[in-house]
Amino acid sequence: MPLLDEHGKAHQYIAIRHDITRQKNAEEEVRLSNQELEHRVQYRTTEVEQINLSLLQEIAGREQIEQELRQSLKREQLTRRLLASLNHSFDIDFILQMVAQEMGVFFGVDRCLVIHYENRGVDNRSLRVMAQYCRSEEIQQVPETEIPWAQLDQLPETTEPEHPKVLLNASSSEEFPAAIQPYLETSGVQSILIVEIRYRNILFGRVSLHQCMHQRSWTPAEVLFLETLVPYIGSALYQAELHQEEQRAKQEAEEANRQKSKILSYVSHDFKNPLASMRRFIEILEKEADSPLSEKQRELIGYISEGVQLLRNMVTNILDKARLEAGKIVPMLEWIDLSSLVAELRFIFQDLAIQRHIELTLDVQPGLHIIRADLTHLRQILINLLSNAVKYNQPHGKAMLHLYTQAEERCLVIEMRDTGKGISAEQIPNLFTDYYRADLSQANQIEGTGLGLAFIKKLVDLYGGNITVESEVGVGSTFKVLLPITADNEILPLTAQAAT
């Protein structure tokens, strides 16, 4: 700064010195701090961006996992629905239509066809559209008519007979085999996936998924899932066909049995009158006073009487069995004196037992006198049991009939014991089958039709009862018939039991 004299001239200067080193250093520190801060901000920004990117990737991964889980859940739900429906129906039409509907909706296709073999012969096999699903009315239905095998013979056959195979996976018409291209184009198909339905090396048909409004590429997961499902469909069709065959066989057997029973009923009815006449003539001969029979003649008449009685029992069994199966038997209840009934049975069978050297014992529980039941039915049960016990016994054997009640089970027990040849465990389940005779070698020598026990079983079932068998080969057998009895000593048929 200059100092001036009186003339205005500078004659000296004043200088002020200021040291700015510290300031410069401070400014440099500030610059360096700012630069470091910028680096830190940039680093943090990059770090945050990386974290955000990782989070976005993790979110995307979780969304993909969630989507896969949802798809897996949908697949599991579809599988459960299919299995639940397939396991509860033997109706093939229902199974095929349900499969078409469920698969069409799940895969989101425009059309789903289930094609079933009409026959499986190598030369004349053909396919028929048996069920189909269409997404909307815009999608035309494929006529449910036969598809000649010639149109499909270029589709590859499986080389692994136990596993289903993808026969065609085409995302555009350019990939369609020439043999079926006209058929697919006529049906408006742009993309198609066909998987065969196979179970136990039996080819039942095919599932065909169609995309008609646009082209579509089927994902490996979709193809794999469809391949996983079709064995269940094949199993259901296999079981349904077995069931239908069993039903047909059962109906044929029942019809044959009805016809057989009908014929036997007619024949037995024609036997009835001649047998009654023979019985009357025998009684006349036995009571003829003017010309009494000799001992030999009486013996012969006894044999004839026995044969007539056996024939009458057979005829009665056949006729009553036919009426029982036709539902024409109505129990007629009456009060029965069991002691008198047992005495009657003893009189009927004592001659036969003596001829065959069988010790016959019939008794009733003390105090058990009168019950109300159908006399004819009760007598038929007792006669058939006694007849078998005497006929199939061994010489000098025993046949013991005992009637008693079981208070705890509220039932009348008819117990028939014998010391016959016995029945093997393998034969017992067949004893109550029509026309079954346990020991055929012996059965050929003994009168009978094999209907007695079967008829007893049907009568016992009529009253809601039960019949059991215990037997040992070479020792004998015990038959027990248990008939429910009321507190008033009544044996009622099931219909009457339900009413009470």
Residue 403, domain CATH: 3.30.565.10
Residue 154, domain CATH: 3.30.450.40
Q: Please indicate, yes or no, if residue 485 is contained in any of the structural domains.
A: yes
* pLDDT (0 to 100) of residue 440: 40
Give me the sheet containing 146-148, strands edge to edge: 146-148, 126-134, 111-119, 202-211, 191-199, 166-170
Cβ pair 118, 130 in contact under 8 A: no
* pLDDT (0 to 100) of residue 264: 64
- In this structure, the answer to whether residues 105 and 58 fall within a common structural domain is no
Q: Please indicate, yes or no, if residue 315 is contained in any of the structural domains.
A: no
- In this structure, the answer to whether residues 362 and 401 fall within a common structural domain is yes
The C-alpha atoms of residue 260 and residue 322 are separated, in whole angstroms, by 10
Number of domains forming the structure of the chain: 3
Q: Please indicate, yes or no, if residue 344 is contained in any of the structural domains.
A: yes
Q: Please indicate, yes or no, if residue 285 is contained in any of the structural domains.
A: no
Q: What is the 3-state secondary structure (H, E, C) of 201-219?
A: CEEEEEEEEEECCCCCCCC
* pLDDT (0 to 100) of residue 322: 67
- In this structure, the answer to whether residues 205 and 351 fall within a common structural domain is no
The C-alpha atoms of residue 308 and residue 301 are separated, in whole angstroms, by 10
The label of the residue with tokens 């299919």 reads 82
Per-residue pLDDT of the chain (500 residues; tens, 9 = 90+): 666 777 777 767 666 666 677 777 777 888 888 888 888 888 888 888 888 888 777 777 777 777 766 766 777 777 777 777 666 777 878 888 888 888 888 888 999 988 877 655 545 556 778 888 999 888 888 876 555 444 444 444 544 555 567 888 999 888 888 877 887 888 889 999 988 888 777 778 888 899 999 999 988 888 888 888 888 888 888 888 888 888 888 888 878 777 766 766 666 666 666 777 777 777 777 676 566 777 777 777 777 776 777 777 777 766 666 666 666 677 889 999 999 999 989 988 888 888 888 999 999 999 888 999 999 889 889 998 998 898 888 889 999 999 999 877 789 999 999 998 888 888 888 888 876 665 544 544 455 555 678 888 888 988 899 999 999 998 999 999 999 998 888 888 877 665 55
* Diameter of the chain measured on Cα atoms: 208
- In this structure, the answer to whether residues 65 and 125 fall within a common structural domain is no
- In this structure, the answer to whether residues 207 and 334 fall within a common structural domain is no
- In this structure, the answer to whether residues 63 and 163 fall within a common structural domain is no
* pLDDT (0 to 100) of residue 126: 63
- Per DSSP (E only), the strands in 120-274 are 126-134, 146-148, 166-170, 191-199, 202-211
- In this structure, the answer to whether residues 396 and 429 fall within a common structural domain is yes
- Domain boundary (200, 219, 244) is at 244
Helix (H) or strand (E) holding 470: strand 466-472
- In this structure, the answer to whether residues 190 and 220 fall within a common structural domain is yes
Cβ pair 195, 167 in contact under 8 A: yes
* pLDDT (0 to 100) of residue 444: 43
Q: Please indicate, yes or no, if residue 301 is contained in any of the structural domains.
A: no
- In this structure, the answer to whether residues 118 and 233 fall within a common structural domain is yes
* pLDDT (0 to 100) of residue 27: 78
- Domain boundary (211, 229, 244) is at 244
- In this structure, the answer to whether residues 335 and 476 fall within a common structural domain is yes
Q: Please indicate, yes or no, if residue 271 is contained in any of the structural domains.
A: no
Nearest to 450 by CA among 398, 397, 384, 352: 384
Q: Which domain holds residue 30?
A: 22-87
- In this structure, the answer to whether residues 493 and 353 fall within a common structural domain is yes
* pLDDT (0 to 100) of residue 259: 75
Cβ pair 494, 462 in contact under 8 A: yes
Residue 184 C-alpha from the chain's centroid: 38
Helix, coil or strand: residue 178: coil
Q: Give strand pairing partners of 359.
A: 398
Which DSSP string do the residues of 363-398 spell out, in sequence order?
A: EE-TT--EEEEEHHHHHHHHHHHHHHHHHTSPTT-E
* pLDDT (0 to 100) of residue 261: 66
Give the β-pairing of 2-4 and 10-13: antiparallel
* pLDDT (0 to 100) of residue 128: 78
- In this structure, the answer to whether residues 80 and 98 fall within a common structural domain is no
Q: Please indicate, yes or no, if residue 59 is contained in any of the structural domains.
A: yes
- Domain boundary (226, 244, 262) is at 244
